[in-house]
């Protein structure tokens, strides 16, 4: 487990460095179980930082959406490092961004936080509704310990853990300049049980399932905007000429949107589950992403965001690649 | 210039190829009503001179600025009609073709429906024609030199032709000597010319020609660049023998501690050589090479007190310190003549090639028959005192050819005739031999082949139709088990020697050249030509040509003919001195490009690179296409997430309206 004192000391040291611009971390939110990302620029602010099962946000998303305002002539861009706290899955996003040249390694300082699984706030808030005071949580052995206003409550881990964490294979950061706390033994088996259950159904049943889910989509694009791997300056799904997808929210356009999005993530999705977490209408987007992850892993033995030296799946080729999907 | 689209639509009958299923008059009538269409005509052969004249006239008289030709595949006549446009003073890229033959008349039966489909295809083409943009073809200079990979008879012939025409040739050969497979043969069918006698002079010519730079014991490592301007990197492997000092006297090989202990590749393992060797007596260059995998000095660092070859060499040519050398040069064209491997007979275990020493392959028999072979031309099976002259001999044909079970569906084209030749040579060398040939079919298709086959049968060689199921040992004899399918009788034939007429296969390392030159393979795994009929020596990579068995099984005359064809294709390039490069190249919108580099990795022609640009004071990576290298394959377009890569003439903004006009999309 990450020691808070240690975390804050490291953060203080980091932010005091001359070559660090700011640090992206988590701090307690304003109410209930909410934890919010924060950008720390002064050593004094490091006291706010926390790391707990409530730190769900993937902070790697912020690395690539930094706005680069036009610079006055003669002014040099600020190329100091950005320090970022990452969980296992977040670190895979960083690696994949490095592979896709979205960021430069020398412009990053990565603080790795081994993670025992984060919570699904929808599950937690269903258990403890209407709590307004800020709540802290920490990991216990096979359980999560909440400091609720009425006292300490322990809940079995499986009951509140996010779906994606139940089968986690990468609890430890795969890339880091400094790692806080002990390494954790992975518990996931990579069997894609969730996907297999869906695959076992007939085509009609699967279509009915997705038709139901997609038809509720309001096309808020939260899933795209939160995704650490969606970074095109001009998203093809937003484009008007040519217009690949119409803006109307109907089953046809919604399906086209979600399938395009999933295809664009094939071999790139690092399974952080942010899309599913932020979806206001609870579309199980990870099932779609995981289907692709499964295909990619089974066919090509490829898992994105593991090796920064690896070539991207879509642009690498081996003579013995499987071709059985070609009709 | 007023660029309001004025389209001319030309619907071709293609004799009756199109008009028998498509009502071309109705299509033309329909086309004339389409927006922006000024004229629409039909004609029996648009590609003919009067057909093209029709288009030229209309461009002049009607002021057309876009042309739609509804005929065959653009692969067939796009270039023809582009030229027509250019002749009439119009940019050739204002042409759009609607394929109403391959995509319509040839594949449909119902006239009414086919006509309706042809109308849609024409309407879609007209919509796209409206959106076409003029493109400029660029010209680049051609480096007046050629690279030839493989110095078998194909490579040798092509090298001599190009060198004679006055251009520099780099002839690269993997093994220590030129000559290839043909040098292993004894006689050639059907004329029974001595193979060495007709090949050796050419080998010598290649070595002495002032325009040919011979790089033996060398391999092509890398080729970059594009047609007319290839940059080639060749690895000259260390021979550990100084080529300038070696006189080829051969004392070193006699003295080598391993003399007579290493199977000779040239003799198909039947003869033995030393660790320092000349592959065969007529080898060119006549310089010795040390086998780095066998030489004691090179493998163990020690060879007795001192290496005997060094002691024996009078000129001090041996140098164990020698290292591989990388040679780099530029060429304008490349000919791939890497030849073939023979089928590995152990993949047909039922014929017992691994189990019995008297089951041999055709190429092994070739070495036995040869006067330069391990037995000096005597047909002796077995070793030492046990060696015997076989009397009953059976050939089995189509071993590894026409055989789906080993993945080779094709006919190897030479086995029928080399079997006949070897059968003839056996009856000549062993007058009382009883030779039979087990066959599925006899394919004697070439000039003089049937006559030769006839002659061999008259000489007493028995042809038995049947594909043997098994070869096994019974006592001292081998039994060939088959069914004579002409008489429907089972046969168990006791013989002394079984010769497997093994087929030809692509080189086992064929992949290396594919990766270096970006070639394609056809279904049989040989290198694929650009068009089976009209471009049989070209490849999909401009400036790269094929010769000989690298492209598919061939006999010597066909190989030489193809080599001469490849040489002349290469010469067309070299002598014109200029080459036009693709105009329908890809283009990347740097404003939306994120610089992820996917396209750089995807591009099979290394035509895209990431460059750093200044975007409002910030450094940003963006992809940029080198127009001279781009072949317009569109792989980057498909791979780009943001749609920043677009191929000219095939841009989203041009294709989507075209698809919409087909009526399949809003």
Identify the CATH number of the domain in which residue B67 sits. Answer: 3.40.50.960
Residues B522 and B499 in one domain: no
- B481 contact partners, CB below 8 Å, separation of at least 6: B468, B469, B470, B471, B472, B490, B491, B492, B493
- A141 contact partners, CB below 8 Å, separation of at least 6: none
Contact residues, chain A to chain B, C-beta under 8 Å: 68-73, 75-77, 100-102, 231-236, 239, 241-242, 264, 311-312, 314-316, 319
Residues B529 and B558 in one domain: yes
Q: Is the pLDDT of residue B666 over 60?
A: no
Phi, psi of B299 (to 5 degrees): -90, -35
Pseudo-torsion of CA B393, B395, B399, B403, nearest 10°?
-130
Contact between chains at B591 and A233 (C-beta distance less than 8 A): yes
Residues A254 and A111 in one domain: no
Q: Residue B594 is nearest to which of A232, A241, A311, comparing CB atoms?
A: A232
- Whether A192 and A281 have beta carbons less than 8 Å apart is answered as no
pLDDT above 70 coverage of chain B, percent: 99
Residues B93 and B45 in one domain: yes
Each residue of B171-226: pLDDT tens digit?
999 999 999 999 999 999 999 999 999 999 999 999 999 999 999 999 999 998 88
What average pLDDT does this structure show over B431-444? 95
pLDDT score at B8: 97
CA distance A261 to chain B (A): 10
Separation of first and last alpha carbons in chain A: 50
pLDDT score at A314: 86
Residues B357 and B455 in one domain: yes
**Token pair 């093209």 is at which residue?**
B52
Instruction: Check CB contact of B643 with chain A, cutoff 8 Å.
Output: yes
Would you say residue B496 lies in a domain?
Answer: yes
Phi, psi of B396 (to 5 degrees): -115, 125
CA distance A227 to chain B (A): 15
Q: How far is CA B185 from the centre of its chain?
A: 22
Would you say residue B71 lies in a domain?
Answer: yes
Q: Is the pLDDT of residue B350 over 90?
A: yes
Collect contacts of B492-496 with beta carbons under 8 A, ≥24 apart.
B493/B392, B493/B394, B493/B436, B494/B392, B495/B390, B495/B392, B495/B393, B495/B394, B496/B358, B496/B381, B496/B388, B496/B390, B496/B391, B496/B392, B496/B393
Rounded CA-CA distance A146/B638 in Å is 50
Q: Which of B478, B505, B532 is at the close of a domain?
A: B505
> For residue B612, what is the enclosing H or E element?
strand B608-615
- If one counts every other C-beta atom within 10 angstroms of the C-beta of residue B483, the result is 17
Would you say residue B531 lies in a domain?
Answer: yes
Contact between chains at A68 and B616 (C-beta distance less than 8 A): yes
- Whether B537 and B562 have beta carbons less than 8 Å apart is answered as yes
Strand B497-502 vs strand B359-361: parallel, antiparallel, or unpaired? parallel
pLDDT score at B411: 96
> For residue B601, what is the enclosing H or E element?
helix B598-602
Would you say residue B188 lies in a domain?
Answer: yes
For chain A, the farthest-separated pair of C-alpha atoms sits apart, in whole angstroms, at: 63
Residues A82 and A218 in one domain: no
**E strand intervals along B185-291:** 187-188, 193-194, 212-215, 218-226, 229-236, 262-263, 272-273, 276-277, 289-290
Residues A175 and A203 in one domain: no
Structure tokens at B41: 């005509």
Rounded CA-CA distance B649/B50 in Å is 28
pLDDT above 70 coverage of chain A, percent: 100
Query: What residue numbers bound the domain in which B108 lies?
Result: 7-135
Phi, psi of B180 (to 5 degrees): 60, -155
- pLDDT level of residue A241 (50, 70, 90 thresholds): confident
State the total domains in chain B: 5
Rounded CA-CA distance B336/B223 in Å is 12
Residues A223 and A172 in one domain: no
Residues A133 and A212 in one domain: no
3-state secondary structure of B378: coil
Which residue of A lies nearest to B620 if distances are taken between CA atoms? A102
State the total domains in chain A: 2
Contact between chains at A236 and B597 (C-beta distance less than 8 A): no
Would you say residue A123 lies in a domain?
Answer: yes
Q: Is the pLDDT of residue B665 over 60?
A: no
What average pLDDT does this structure show over B365-374? 92
Q: Where are the alpha helices (DSSP H) in B333-462?
A: 362-369, 415-429, 449-458
Would you say residue A150 lies in a domain?
Answer: yes
Give CA angle at B216 (B212, B217), nearest 5°: 165
Q: In CATH, what number is assigned to the domain containing residue B364?
A: 3.50.50.60
Each residue of A267-279: pLDDT tens digit?
999 999 999 999 9
Collect contacts of B133-137 with beta carbons under 8 A, ≥24 apart.
B133/B93, B133/B648, B133/B649, B134/B91, B134/B93, B134/B94, B135/B91, B135/B93, B135/B583, B135/B584, B135/B648, B135/B649, B136/B583, B137/B92, B137/B580, B137/B581, B137/B583
Would you say residue A327 lies in a domain?
Answer: no
Structure tokens at A42: 């002064």
Query: What residue numbers bound the domain in which A251 lies?
Result: 193-315
Would you say residue B653 lies in a domain?
Answer: no
pLDDT score at B339: 96
**Token pair 């259950």 is at which residue?**
A197
Residues B348 and B495 in one domain: yes
- Partners of B617 on chain A (C-beta within 8 Å) are 70-73, 75-77
Would you say residue B660 lies in a domain?
Answer: no
pLDDT score at B570: 97
Provide the sign of the torsion angle of the four alpha carbons A110, A113, A115, A121, taken in this order: negative
Residues B92 and B184 in one domain: no
Would you say residue A113 lies in a domain?
Answer: yes
3-state secondary structure of A258: helix
pLDDT score at B382: 86
Would you say residue B654 lies in a domain?
Answer: no
Q: Which of B552, B578, B604 is at the close of a domain?
A: B578
**Helices B195-208 and B153-164 meet at what angle, rounded to 10?**
40
Residues B228 and B172 in one domain: yes
Each residue of B545-596: pLDDT tens digit?
999 999 999 999 999 999 999 999 999 999 999 988 889 999 999 999 989 9
- Partners of A261 on chain B (C-beta within 8 Å) are none
Strand B272-273 vs strand B262-263: parallel, antiparallel, or unpaired? antiparallel
The reply to whether omega before A242 is within 30° of 0 (cis) is yes
Would you say residue A324 lies in a domain?
Answer: no
- Which candidate, B512, B569, B563, places its Cα nearest to that of B542? B569
Rounded CA-CA distance B556/B561 in Å is 8
Residues B171 and B277 in one domain: no
Residues A29 and A122 in one domain: yes
Residues A62 and A105 in one domain: yes
Rounded CA-CA distance B442/A314 in Å is 48
Q: Is the pLDDT of residue A120 over 90?
A: yes
Residues B490 and B372 in one domain: yes
Q: Residue A236 is nearest to which of B598, B602, B642, comparing CB atoms?
A: B642
Residues A175 and A201 in one domain: no
* Residue of B592, B617, B635, B636 to mutate, testing the A interface (most A Cβ within 10 Å of its Cβ): B617
Residues A158 and A23 in one domain: yes
Residues B474 and B355 in one domain: yes
Q: Is the pLDDT of residue B471 over 50?
A: yes
Structure tokens at A28: 């307690």
What average pLDDT does this structure show over B376-401? 92
Would you say residue B208 lies in a domain?
Answer: yes
Separation of first and last alpha carbons in chain B: 33
What average pLDDT does this structure show over B337-351? 96
* Residue of A75, A232, A237 to mutate, testing the B interface (most B Cβ within 10 Å of its Cβ): A232
Would you say residue A323 lies in a domain?
Answer: no
Would you say residue A226 lies in a domain?
Answer: yes
pLDDT score at B664: 67
CA distance A47 to chain B (A): 33
Q: Which of A121, A149, A179 is at the close of a domain?
A: A179
Q: Is the pLDDT of residue B2 over 80?
A: no
**β partners of residue B329:** B232
CA distance B403 to chain A (A): 23
Q: In CATH, what number is assigned to the domain containing residue B592?
A: 3.30.70.20
Residues A245 and A138 in one domain: no
Residues A13 and A112 in one domain: yes
DSSP classification of residue B536: S
Q: Residue B656 is nearest to which of A242, A311, A312, comparing CB atoms?
A: A242
Residues B65 and B75 in one domain: yes
Residues A162 and A198 in one domain: no
Each residue of B97-130: pLDDT tens digit?
999 999 999 999 999 999 999 999 999 999 999 9
- Whether B125 and B40 have beta carbons less than 8 Å apart is answered as no
How many CB pairs below 8 A link A and B? 64
Residues B400 and B487 in one domain: yes
Q: Which of A151, A179, A207 is at the close of a domain?
A: A179
Each residue of B32-80: pLDDT tens digit?
999 999 999 999 999 999 999 999 999 999 999 999 999 999 988 999 9
pLDDT score at A322: 80
């Amino acid at each position: 487990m990450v020691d808070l004192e240690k975390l804050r000391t490291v953060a203080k040291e980091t932010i005091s460095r001359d070559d660090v611009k700011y640090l992206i971390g988590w701090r307690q939110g304003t109410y209930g179980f909410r934890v919010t990302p924060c950008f720390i620029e002064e050593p004094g602010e490091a006291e706010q930082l926390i790391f707990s099962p409530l730190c769900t946000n993937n902070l790697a998303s912020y690395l690539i959406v930094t706005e680069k305002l036009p610079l006055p002539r003669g002014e040099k861009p600020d190329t100091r490092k950005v320090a970022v706290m990452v969980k296992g899955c977040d670190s895979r996003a960083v690696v994949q961004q490095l592979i896709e040249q979205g960021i430069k390694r020398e412009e990053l300082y990565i603080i790795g936080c081994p993670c025992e699984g984060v919570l699904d706030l929808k599950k937690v808030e269903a258990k403890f509704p209407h709590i307004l005071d800020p709540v802290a949580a920490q990991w216990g052995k096979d359980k999560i310990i909440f400091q609720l206003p009425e006292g300490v409550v322990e809940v079995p881990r499986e009951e509140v853990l996010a779906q994606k964490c139940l089968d986690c294979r990468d609890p430890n950061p795969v890339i880091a300049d400094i790692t806080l706390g002990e390494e954790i033994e992975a518990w996931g088996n990579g069997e894609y049980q969730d996907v297999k259950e869906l695959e076992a159904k007939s085509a009609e049943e699967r279509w009915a399932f997705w038709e139901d889910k997609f038809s509720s989509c309001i096309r808020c694009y939260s899933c795209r905007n939160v995704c650490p791997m969606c970074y095109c300056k001009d998203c093809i799904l937003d484009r008007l000429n040519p217009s690949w997808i119409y803006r109307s929210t109907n089953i046809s356009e919604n399906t086209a949107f979600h399938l395009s999005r999933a295809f664009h993530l094939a071999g790139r999705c690092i399974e952080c589950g942010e899309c599913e977490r932020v979806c206001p209408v609870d579309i199980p987007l990870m099932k779609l992403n995981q289907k692709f992850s499964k295909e990619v892993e089974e066919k090509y033995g490829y898992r994105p965001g593991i090796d920064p030296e690896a070539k991207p799946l879509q642009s690498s080729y081996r003579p013995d690649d499987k071709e059985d999907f070609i009709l | 210039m007023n660029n309001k689209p004025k389209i001319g639509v030309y619907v071709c009958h293609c004799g009756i190829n199109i008009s028998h299923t498509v009502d071309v008059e109705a299509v033309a009538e329909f086309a004339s009503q389409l927006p922006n269409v000024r004229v629409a005509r039909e004609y029996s052969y648009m590609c003919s001179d009067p057909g093209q004249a029709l288009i030229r006239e209309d461009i002049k008289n009607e002021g057309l600025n876009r042309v739609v030709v509804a005929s065959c595949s653009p692969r067939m006549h796009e270039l023809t009609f582009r030229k027509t446009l250019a002749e009439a003073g119009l940019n050739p890229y204002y042409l759009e073709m609607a394929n109403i033959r391959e995509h319509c008349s040839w594949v449909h039966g119902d006239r009414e429906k086919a006509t309706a489909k042809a109308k849609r295809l024409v309407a879609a083409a007209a919509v796209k024609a409206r959106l076409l943009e003029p493109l400029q073809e660029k010209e680049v200079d051609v480096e007046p030199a050629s690279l030839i990979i493989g110095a078998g008879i194909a490579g040798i012939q092509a090298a001599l032709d190009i060198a004679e025409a006055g251009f520099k040739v780099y002839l690269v050969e993997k093994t220590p000597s030129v000559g290839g497979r043909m040098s292993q043969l004894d006689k050639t069918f059907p004329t029974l010319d001595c193979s060495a006698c007709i090949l050796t002079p050419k080998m010598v010519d290649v070595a002495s020609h002032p325009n040919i730079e011979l790089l033996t014991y060398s391999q092509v490592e890398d080729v970059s660049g594009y047609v007319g301007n290839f940059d080639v990197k060749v690895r000259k492997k260390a021979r550990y023998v100084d080529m300038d000092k070696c006189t080829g006297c051969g004392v070193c090989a006699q003295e080598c501690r391993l003399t007579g202990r290493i199977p000779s590749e040239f003799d198909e393992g039947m003869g033995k050589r030393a660790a320092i060797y000349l592959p065969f007596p007529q080898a060119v260059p006549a310089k010795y090479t040390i086998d780095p995998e066998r030489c004691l000095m090179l493998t163990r660092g020690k060879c007795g007190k001192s290496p005997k070859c060094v002691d024996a060499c009078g000129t001090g040519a041996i140098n164990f310190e020698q290292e591989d050398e990388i040679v780099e040069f530029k060429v304008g064209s490349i000919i791939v003549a890497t030849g073939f491997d023979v089928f590995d007979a152990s993949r047909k275990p039922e014929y017992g090639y691994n189990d019995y020493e008297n089951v041999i392959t055709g190429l092994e028999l070739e070495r036995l028959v040869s006067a330069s072979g391990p037995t000096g031309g005597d047909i002796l099976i077995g070793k030492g005192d046990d060696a015997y002259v076989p009397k009953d001999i059976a050939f089995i044909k189509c071993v590894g050819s026409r055989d789906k079970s080993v993945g080779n569906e094709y006919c190897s084209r030479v086995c029928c005739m080399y079997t006949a030749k070897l059968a003839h040579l056996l009856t000549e060398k062993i007058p009382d031999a009883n030779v039979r040939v087990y066959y599925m079919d006899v394919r004697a298709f070439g000039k003089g082949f049937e006559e030769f086959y006839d002659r061999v049968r008259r000489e007493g060689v028995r042809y038995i139709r049947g594909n043997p199921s098994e070869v096994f040992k019974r006592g001292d004899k081998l039994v060939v088990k088959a069914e004579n399918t002409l008489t429907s009788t089972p046969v168990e034939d006791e013989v002394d020697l079984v010769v497997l007429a093994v087929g030809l296969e692509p080189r086992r390392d064929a992949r290396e050249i594919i990766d270096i030159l970006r070639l394609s393979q056809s279904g049989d795994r040989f290198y694929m030509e650009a068009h089976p009929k009209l471009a049989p020596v070209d490849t999909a990579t401009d400036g790269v040509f094929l010769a000989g068995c690298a492209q598919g099984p061939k006999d010597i005359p066909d190989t030489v003919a193809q080599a001469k064809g490849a040489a002349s294709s290469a010469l067309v390039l070299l002598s014109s001195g200029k080459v036009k490069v693709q105009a329908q190249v890809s283009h990347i919108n740097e404003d939306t490009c994120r610089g992820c580099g996917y396209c750089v990795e995807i591009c099979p022609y290394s035509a895209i690179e990431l460059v750093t640009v200044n975007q409002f004071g910030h450094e940003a990576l963006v992809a940029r296409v080198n127009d001279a290298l781009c072949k317009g394959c569109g792989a980057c377009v498909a791979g780009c997430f943001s749609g920043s890569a677009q191929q000219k003439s095939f841009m989203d903004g041009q294709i989507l309206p075209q698809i919409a006009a087909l009526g399949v999309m809003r």
